[in-house]
A and B are shown apart, each in its own frame.
Chain A
Amino acid sequence: MSQPTPSAPRRAPLLFLGPFAVLFALFFVVPIVYALWQSFTGVRRTGPLGLGGSRTVFAGLSNYAAALTQTGFAASLLRILIFGVVVVPVMIVAATALALMLDAASARWPRFFRAVYFLPYGIPGVIASILWSFLYLPGLSPILEVLGKLGIDVDPLGGTGVLWAIANIVIWEFAGYNMLVIVAQLQSVPGDLYDAARVDGANAWQMIWRIKLPLIRPAVVLTTVFTIIGTLQLFAEPMVLKRGAPAITNDYTPNVSAYNQAFTYNNYGLAAAEAVLLALAAFVLSFGFLRLVGRGGRAGGAR
């Protein structure tokens, strides 16, 4: 056995980690630290009309205070929480149900329908929003026209109902993707489990409840976390729909608010504070959820 030189094994991991570490530091750690620093800064100006020059000053927690009390940011967080309370369960139930239907023994053309359900995910969010905005516009939408003829007058873009118009787009876009994740897990379930269940006399429902659902649990948890984070980051849909929907304000969702503070109003400190608060919220919610289901998983004796 040839003895490797003592330094080689130590250098190899560094070499492999190097590219990742550099990119991770440059595009992840540095921006986060920069945003954190920015969130504690403000600006002072001198001269007539403040045109005499400006300097960056330490602003303490004033940006955080402003974000939570003086802007619509707090309201946007609340709005997105209400949105999530509805969208996340609907999304996961829909994705799971679609996956189970495609996996059922009696399913016809499962490959075709899998592709069809997945298709919306292939359409960029902006395009999807434009598509749906035409279906939402009174006077243009064939759906609204048919409903109108039936005596049901709805205006999805008018008033506060637009939040649920957005929810519909988001579910349409992502349910298929989440379904695919769950389908992948379903397909990894060993066939002999089903054979054994059948021998024991289990019917289709029992197989779903006793075998499929427990075994796809990790995929469902994963898609739920994705959906929670995706919901908090809602951005493209309201940005597109706002043209025809006056209820969508410049601080409609936390991300829209931070974007506008930074790039429309040049309040970088305030925008950074909002971004940090949003990241904290995403952290608390997703890890809170993981802890919650993690406990349940162990109690259920999955191992």
Chain B
Amino acid sequence: MARILGAHRIAAAVVALALVLSGCAGGGGRKGPIELTFWSWVPGIDKSVALWNRTHPGVQVHLDQITAGADGGYAKMFSAVKAGSGPDVAQVEYWAIPAFVLEGGLVDLSKHGVRQYQNRFVPWQWNQGVFNGGVYAVPQASGPMALYYRADLFAKYGLKPPATWADYAKAAAVIKQKDPTASIGTFPPANSQWFISLAWQAGAHWFGAADKWSVDIDDPATQKVASYWDGLRRKGLVDTMPDVQTGWYKAVHDGKILAWVGPQWGDALLKGNAPNTAGKWRVAPMPQWDPKHEASSNWGGSSSAVLRGTTHPDEAMQFAVWLNTDRGSINDLIAGGYGWPAAAGALKGSALDHPDPFFGGQRYNDVFADADKHIDTGWRWIPTTMSLIDTLNTGFTNAITSPHGTFLGAVRTAQTTTVRDMRRKGLQVVAPPER
């Protein structure tokens, strides 16, 4: 494994060498604890790993902090899997699981008895790792969606948190009128996962993974969402700057972005990047399309997967299950802002279950707990999700930079591109006739 040698790693190597040598001297062959390597980028996960190492002397886990998946972490993992030099356990987001399964990168844990732990997890999240009867990942966390909003500025402009998307559009207009430099929010063109989450809420089912893959991206629900944001953008009621990056944080910090339809794990981002706005935020449910049928959504979600090439699949699986179900580990991960636990019933009594001064003392996670109950749990991903996300990013970007581009057009392009992408990978794809 080619890695940068840090001081601690040299120390670890020396210790490992000493262990091997002492083992040899004893003449008893290889002794000492089993060693696992774990690749992840989740902040705070080092504390969980340290906790495991303290409590499990027989299996020692070495954590390698890698770049977040889409920023190069997966590229590194795919290369490592191809070269047979990958870690034993790795962080894999839900949307990326099918790609790793297709490349044969993940160990089917059902062959190692993982099903006995199934009831410890939220069912839909468990299903994110199930393909063709195999179980390829242990779910870790998700990101139920809600509306973060600046209670002080909403009150100042006489607004209530919008209950419906129609209300959201009205509030957007009021905000633009009162402060032309501010916006209710942004349509982030280069972050289509956000858009996917909104389509998910509206009832879209883009993908199926029954016997063949099916792809239906430009379905009526998605068209409705795309047209809605086309409308807001045409009227200049929303910003189109990229979200969750420096410029956006600055706007949030300066009170120029008044609300964010965002995931539960976004709380840490707001706290960390706009600390001066503490106490002014509140959380409300996502605006609804149909107030009679409350629907929320999810953005993100991540798992621990055991990678092909491990020599200790059973121990690796034990670690993955422990990491995501142990109370102490979950609390460490919550402190790092990893999101919403995939372990069933983990909220009660956890570090999430408290009023928070950043949100004016609101027990804001109750809103996310409620959102979690209203997520369409049939959502599936495909092996070419990354390409799809990029295609949508490109399409949305072109929509805002070219005079006649629309988000709706970007969604239509994504459908044809995705079907073509998957067929190029040698897959059979079911797609509805072109609309």
Contacts and interface: CB of A to CB of B under 8 A. Distances in A.
A66 B424 contact: yes
Interface in B189-215: 189-190, 209, 211-213
Contacts of A158: 241
Nearest to A56: B426
Nearest to B103: A266
Interface in B384-415: 384, 386-387, 390, 393-394, 396-397, 400-401
B212 to A, nearest CB: 7
Interface of B: 74-75, 78-79, 99, 101-104, 131-132, 134, 188-190, 209, 211-213, 240-242, 245-247, 250-251, 254, 383-384, 386-387, 390, 393-394, 396-397, 400-401, 417, 420-421, 424-428
A44 B426 CA distance: 4
Contacts of B246: 137, 140, 244
Contacts of B78: 263, 266
B99 A266 contact: yes
A249 B209 contact: no
Given A49-B132, A160-B401, A246-B400, A54 B426 contact: yes
Which of B242, B247, B383, B393 gathers the greatest number of chain A CB atoms within 10 Å?
Answer: B247
A198 interface: no
Interface string A144-163: 00000000000000111000
Contact of B247 (A137, A260, A263): A137
Contacts of A185: none
B186 to A, nearest CB: 11
The 6 closest A-B pairs by CB, nearest first: A263-B75, A250-B390, A246-B190, A45-B426, A249-B394, A139-B250
B233 to A, nearest CB: 13
Contacts of A42: 424, 426
Contacts of A47: 132
Contacts of A49: 131-132, 209, 211-213, 427
Given A137-B246, A158-B241, 13 more contacts: A45-B426, A47-B132, A140-B247, A242-B190, A243-B242, A244-B242, A246-B190, A246-B400, A249-B393, A265-B386, A266-B99, A267-B424, A270-B424
Interface of A: 42-45, 47-51, 54, 66, 70, 72, 137-140, 158-160, 242-247, 249-251, 260, 263-267, 270
A265 B384 contact: yes
Contacts of B401: 159-160, 247
Nearest to B189: A246
